[in-house]
Amino acid sequence: MHREGRIIIIGFFILFCILSFVSWKFIPSPYSILAVLPFWILYGFILWFFRNPIRTNQASPLDIIAPVDGKVVVVEEVQENEFIKGKCMQVSIFMSPLNVHVCRYPLLGKVIFTKYHPGKFLVAYHPKSSELNERTTVVVQAENGQNILFRQIAGAVARRIVMYAKDGDQAKAGEEYGFIKFGSRVDLFLPLDSKILVKVGDKTLGGVQKIAELH
């Protein structure tokens, strides 16, 4: 289980135990079981949501690994104005509430920039969500000197973003750098000459799947 879910998991377990005890004490069987069954189904979903599977990869210094599980919704050339301040390739991955929500570094290198941005809560697939929504920005400098920017973006439901990355940290492809609760998206901004290995509609496996190569 992910550390971000510990308090929630413990709190709901205690609450549902109390509700189950009250139900079994005051409602005759089998109706008592039917009364509490939805709560324990919900608890199962909570446990599933906060799962944190171990992922490994054999990434080289020029490999870009999927930072999250999800579906590729954008692959296009854009202008990035926060840090890169130039043209780059944007690859965006949308996460549903059923996906693993651990956010992982997409490459090897050094963290040279981190920033949290308060903002709106537009639906995560909205074209302007990358600029207007609550979000975090992390930039990692690859071993070849190229700067790779990626963002966690909140959505209409996901209103809790956690970022662990700090300036000066050593990034390792596949290692955890954050967590997003209840669905959203992650945007990556890559150099124009990067070899993109995914297309819109593809499913990604965070921390494992290679989605691009740097030159």
Q: How many C-beta neighbours within 10 Å does residue 108 have?
A: 20
Q: How many C-beta neighbours within 10 Å does residue 86 have?
A: 11
In the annotation, is 184 catalytic?
Answer: yes
Q: Active-site residue among 23, 129, 130, 184?
A: 184
Specify whether the CB–CB gap between 181 and 132 falls below 8 A: no
Strand ranges, E, within the chain: 63-65, 70-80, 86-95, 102-104, 109-117, 135-141, 147-153, 161-163, 170-171, 176-180, 184-190, 195-196, 203-204, 210-213
Spatial separation of the C-alpha atoms in residues 33 and 37, rounded to whole Å: 6
Specify whether the CB–CB gap between 173 and 57 falls below 8 A: yes
Specify whether the CB–CB gap between 161 and 135 falls below 8 A: yes
Spatial separation of the C-alpha atoms in residues 191 and 215, rounded to whole Å: 9
Active site residues: 184
